[in-house]
Amino acid sequence: MADAPASAAFWAALLDRQVVTESGAALVPGDKTQVGLRFITSETEQVGRLRLHLHLTSTNLEDQQRTVEMALRQGGRHLDVGQGAHTCFVVLADPDGIEFAIYAD
């Protein structure tokens, strides 16, 4: 990841959390029910597909749509992974290509 602070800022905004900066890294802390995310700056080029795919949950369809819109405003993009039109989730990628799905409960 070339810019750990920028990646952490995307996820912190999406998850409504704060970024904790570290030397060469940035942390989006978790809690008892949420995973924390640490981003480390690296010049290593990604080879192959990223192996991380996160699932976010929303309380309803309106909440899901707000989260999707926020992700798109922050630089995320839609992905087509073969999901059908009538699924309960939306698949996106963050600016670094990390895939995630937003589910509506």
Q: Same structural domain for residues 75 and 29?
A: no
Tokens representing 103?
């589910």
Phi-psi group of 16: left, alpha or beta (phi > 0 → left; psi -120 to 50 → alpha; rest → beta): left
Q: Same structural domain for residues 35 and 60?
A: no
Tokens representing 98?
């990390």
35-77 tens-digit pLDDT = 999 999 888 887 877 777 888 999 999 999 999 999 999 999 9
Q: What is the model's pLDDT at position 1?
A: 57
CATH number, domain at 71?
Answer: 3.10.180.10
Number of domains in the chain: 2
Q: Same structural domain for residues 38 and 5?
A: yes
Q: Same structural domain for residues 31 and 61?
A: no
Nearest to 89 by CA among 26, 7, 40, 99: 99
Q: Same structural domain for residues 66 and 40?
A: no
Q: What is the model's pLDDT at position 39?
A: 92
Asked if 102 and 72 touch (Cβ cutoff 8 Å), the reply is no
Per DSSP, the three-state class of 92 is strand
Q: Mean pLDDT in the chain?
A: 88
- 91, with CB counted inside 10 A (0-12, 13-18, 19+), is middle
Domain containing 84 equals 52-105
Q: Same structural domain for residues 57 and 95?
A: yes
Per DSSP, the three-state class of 69 is helix
Q: Same structural domain for residues 101 and 56?
A: yes
